[in-house]
Amino acid sequence: MKKTVLVTGGNGQLGQCIQSIANQFPSLHFLFVDKDILDITNEKDVLDFFEAHHIHWCINCAAYTAVDHAEENQELALQVNVVGARNIANACQRNGSKLIQISTDFVFDGKSSNPYKETDRVNPLGVYGLTKLNGEVEVKKNCPSYFIVRTSWLYSEFGNNFMKTMLRLGSEKTQLSVVNDQIGSPTYAIDLAEALIQIIQLDTDNYGIYHYSNHGQISWFDFAKTIFELTNNDLSLNPILSKDYATLAERPKYSVLDTSKITDEFALKIPFWKDSLANALSKVK
């Protein structure tokens, strides 16, 4: 019998990435929903949906991810990232479903100089990171059968992301400034989607928090520079400091994730960031 996998936030970037590879896994039956089909902030709707479908796994990709807007829309961020996560976790527990909750490097304050392990102290700097962290807490409290997967700097050929923004600006401008003092690991969302499906297929009960990002660490400036190099765009790119690029929400200066736990547990081979970027760019073209 096929396992049914519910993917919330199905029209978001990660949801679309899972959709794009779903037909490669015939043993799984995927249900993709967005907020028009399933409002995860409505507890009754979530419970009714789970009871109407035989859900074996849920990948909760639904999230309020607008980092700066979250500072001004705290209630909406709380509803989606905390209440929504609680509702999903509660429904999973009641229906015997396993849960993969997507989380973020923004749960850390960026004051480390070593890649963050799952056990390292969390200390989010803004509303987005705080609500995602509180969502993790709700998942752990309400659904023992959980995998929380924190990731960083997601991009792909789908949705809105840094890579696509750079490609657009690169076609419009001859000069651009990008911050050079925030260090992290760009993550191709297709790679993450494949890792999530690997977790489902292995079907272990080694629940807990895991970190996933592509290998290597760079700045946003380095990321942009490589995008333009790989697309043969010779625009003038200038490095600037975060303090010279004002944003409502403070970003962690260093948010590289240690991925050794997830690679060991699920036998994953994680690509190097530049290889995945080249792959993504070839699909955009």
pLDDT at 1 over 80: no
The 10s digit of each residue's pLDDT in 157-184 is 999 999 999 999 999 999 999 999 999 9
Contacts 24+ apart (CB under 8 A), 140-143: 141/86, 141/89, 142/86, 142/89, 142/90, 142/93, 143/89, 143/90, 143/92, 143/93, 143/99
245 is catalytic: no
Label residue 110 left, alpha or beta by phi (over 0 means left) and psi (-120 to 50 means alpha): left
Residues in CB range of 265: below 8 A, 6 or more apart: 204, 206, 210
Q: Where are the domains of the chain?
A: 3-161+186-214+256-271
Q: Which of 64, 116, 128, 155 is the catalytic position?
A: 128
Q: What is the DSSP letter of 215?
A: B
Q: Report the alpha-carbon distance of residue 78 to residue 80 in Å, rounded.
A: 6
CATH superfamily of 3-161+186-214+256-271: NAD(P)-binding Rossmann-like Domain (3.40.50.720)
Question: In the predicted model, what is the mean pLDDT of the chain?
Answer: 96
Does residue 246 carry a pLDDT above 90? no
Q: How would residue 285 be classed by pLDDT, with cut points 50, 70 and 90? A: low
pTM: 0.96
